[in-house]
Structure 1
Amino acid sequence: MGIDILNYLDDLAGCDIPSSSDDAYAKLGLILQNCGIEESIEKACPPSTKMMFIGILFDSENMTISIDTQRLSEILQLVSNWLCSTNCTKRELQSLLGKLNFVSQCVRSGRIFVSRLLNWLRDFPDNGKIVIPTDFKRDLFWWQEFLPSYNGISMILSDEFSNPDQLFSVDACLTGCGGWMDGRYFHCSFPEFILDQNLHINLLEMLTIVVALKLWGKHFTNLKVIIYCDNMVSVRVLNTGATRNEFLQSCLREVCWIAAVNNFELKAKHISGCDNRLPDLLSRWDLDYKFQLDFYERTKGMSLFRDLISKELFQFEHIW
């Protein structure tokens, strides 16, 4: 059995079980000494449940990672300065990206609001200044809105979703939407301002996910959440964070905002329409009374709670 070590440039971090940690720490010191590598004694951290690594405090007892609030304030000020700027150099852009990437190590939802900045960097000339595009600033608005509400502490969330903490499912038809979560449910006809846009069903399905997360997101704090959906486009967009459609991009940004503020991880899984029957019935609630009867028949004996939906939930709250 070896010793688990992680390195980032000249920074090293190790982890082990409590009974072996002191021995592993001593062995690592000997390895560095035998290799002729000089260790920075003042930065060395003996085995502990708290460890500072690459500027992030890892706490294995509370399972959290955190960033100093002063550093967050500095990054927020930098973002505000950028929003007042009209042009920049490549070096300035690289500096900004480095700081936002740093915060994204703790805020996973923030990574989508760095990707477009990275794409711009790839096409940036080595010399001179160029005008900052509008889309670039829209991503910075997300950071300006999020950072003041972030206390610098995030839960260490696992990539393992075989045992999620919460499940819910949604569905939409051309006239309405519905969602189901452990006896909680909602159904609603789309407001007129949505119907007037003649949106494709793919867009309505994604919008329904946004509505469900606005409604139930506060219950998901520090959880791993799986959403079941019978629309392949919505599943792909949620899991990849990529789409060229502007409406889907707006939905995705709303989803990322809700996930970041409530610190939960979301993954989507595709299921067939016949396996998504309850949300399907809820989405067609106002089309025919038979859908209501079928829903109550399938949920007979269950404890039910209906969440009421306001038309404001269908509106995008932010400019990004």
Structure 2
Amino acid sequence: MMSRRGFTIVAYLDDFFICERTKKRCAQALAVLIALLRKLGFCISWSKVTDPCQKIVFLGVEIDSTTLETRLPISKLTDLKSELAEFLLRKHASKKQLQSLAGKLNWASAVVRGGRVFLRRIINGIMGLKQDWHKLRMSGEILQDIKWWHDFMSTFNGKSFFLAKVPITSVVTDACKSGAGGFYHSDWFYVNWVEDYPFATQLHINELEAFSVALAVKRWAQNWRGKGIIVNCDNAATVSCINKCTSKNAILMSFLRELFWLSATYNFHIIAKHVPGKENILADHISRLHDLTYCEKFLRFYVQPPLLVSDLVKHMSSNALRFLLFRLTGIQGDDITG
């Protein structure tokens, strides 16, 4: 009803949050909301009604429109850190204890980007317990999620900045059985599985595609503070697990954990977009630099001349570069700085 009247409002049960561009507009929205609620027969808790301001607490989270950030109260943050440390020492926890922890972590997720990724398995564990006193063994994925929260909260200052309105859409990644690559802005990277990550030679292509996204996020996370990120990928399984924030595949889940750790640390929101393989040309060429045809096309169309070997070191490991030089020119040697 309020939206139809042109106002921006968030409703959670019987709590309402109004956000408008000006103090006058906010006051108008508040007056309309109160009149509407009274007309519908609701009782107003006047002690909780707050006049238009630039700092307000909503659902336990402080919202500051002057600094464009959300904050968790220090006292509650400290208590949560202590509770997480205690849970890591437990061998078992009751349904009621897990519900209490999940509620607090859900509250913290309002500020911690990607935090809900590491809450889902705790909730799944709770759903498997019928009575409040029934207990669950602290092991496996649930313990891993609690450890993620414990490790992250040990360095988290309780603050998170609002995201920029316009997302970054130029990130592309791709992987093949021999290597992977990614491109963002004017930077790019190439990895060779044999030279850089030998264990990856045994992975399924879906896992390799997800790994390439994780590598891209690791490379550029520091440049994405306060941004919304759309990663373009031609692998449907990778797109799905990133957007759902979970996967039944343990290897994919390990990549997601690293990805969302960085998302929380650097305060950015990431989603994936599926693009047809025939349109993912740039990333496809980079992931296949070991192939002379793809290498020539990439260097000709996307790399500014003059091209020095020392420049290539910025975009791949020294081992991968040695491999490329030998593969493409037949030249061997340890000097790759010239």
TM-score (norm 1): 0.85
Q: Does 1:175 align with 2:181?
A: no
**1:136 corresponds to:** 142
- Distance in 2 of aligned mates of 1:151 and 1:70: 12
C-alpha distance in 2 between matches for 1:239 and 1:69:
31
CA gap 1:157/1:170 in 2 versus in 1, 3 angstroms: same
Aligned match for 2:257, one of 237, 247, 253: 253
* Segment drifting more, 66-75 vs 9-18: 9-18
Corresponding letter in the other structure for 2:69: T
User: Match for residue 315 of structure 1?
Assistant: none
Q: Secondary structure of 2:229's partner?
A: strand
Question: Does structure 1 residue 154 correspond to structure 2 residue 157?
Answer: no
Amino acid at match of 1:65: T
296-305 vs 215-224, greater mean Cα deviation: 296-305
Secondary structure of 2:129's match? coil
> RCO higher in 1 or 2 (8 Å CA, sep ≥ 6)?
1
CA contact (8 A) 2:125 2:136 kept: no
Structure 1 position 303, deviation (Å):
10
Deviations 1:247-285 (A, max 9, x none): 001111111111111111111111222222222121111
For the Cα contact (< 8 Å) 2:84–2:149, is it kept in 1?
A: yes
| Counterpart pick for 2:189 among 186, 190, 207 | 186
Query: Which residue does 2:219 correspond to in 1?
Result: 215
Alpha-carbon spacing, 1:129–1:73, altered in 2? closer, same or farther (3 Å): same
Shift of residue 109, structure 1, vs aligned partner: 0.4
1:38-117 alignment, distance < 5 Å: 39-41=45-47, 43-117=48-122
The answer to whether the 8 Å contact 2:194/2:201 transfers is no
CA gap of 1:289–1:59, structure 2 versus 1, over 3 A, is same
Instruction: Write the distance in 2 (CA, Å) between the matches of 1:196 and 1:64.
Output: 39
- In structure 2, C-alpha distance between the alignment counterparts of 1:196 and 1:54, rounded to whole Å: 44
Query: CA RMSD, aligned part only?
Result: 2.6
- Bigger shift: residues 191-200 or 109-118: 191-200
Separation in 1 of the partners of 2:77 and 2:203? 39
- CA 303–239 in structure 1, closer or farther in 2 if over 3 Å, else same: farther
Alpha-carbon distance change, 236 to 50 in structure 1, aligned in 2, over 3 angstroms: same
3-state SS in 2 of match to 1:149: coil
Name stretches of at least 5 consecutive residues in structure 2 with no aligned partner: 319-338
Report SS of the residue matched to 2:243.
helix
1:292 counterpart residue number: 295
Q: Relative to structure 1, is the Cα distance of residues 196 and 56 closer, same or farther in structure 2, using a 3 angstrom cutoff?
A: closer
**d(CA) in 1 for partners of 2:315 and 2:267?**
24
Return closer, same or farther for 1:300/1:31 CA change in 2, 3 Å cut-off.
closer
Task: Summarize the Cα distance change of 1:310–1:14 in structure 2 as closer, same or farther, 3 Å threshold.
Answer: same
For 1:147 and 1:277, locate their aligned partners in 2 and report how far apart those are by CA, in whole Å: 40
The answer to whether the Cα contact below 8 Å between 1:67 and 1:152 also exists between their aligned partners in 2 is yes
For each residue in 1:193-214, what CA deviation from the matched residue of structure 2 results, as whole angstroms up to 9, or x when unmatched? 5357511111111111111111
| Residue of structure 2 in register with 1:280 after alignment | 284
Check the 8 A contact 1:166/1:220 in 2, yes or no.
Answer: no
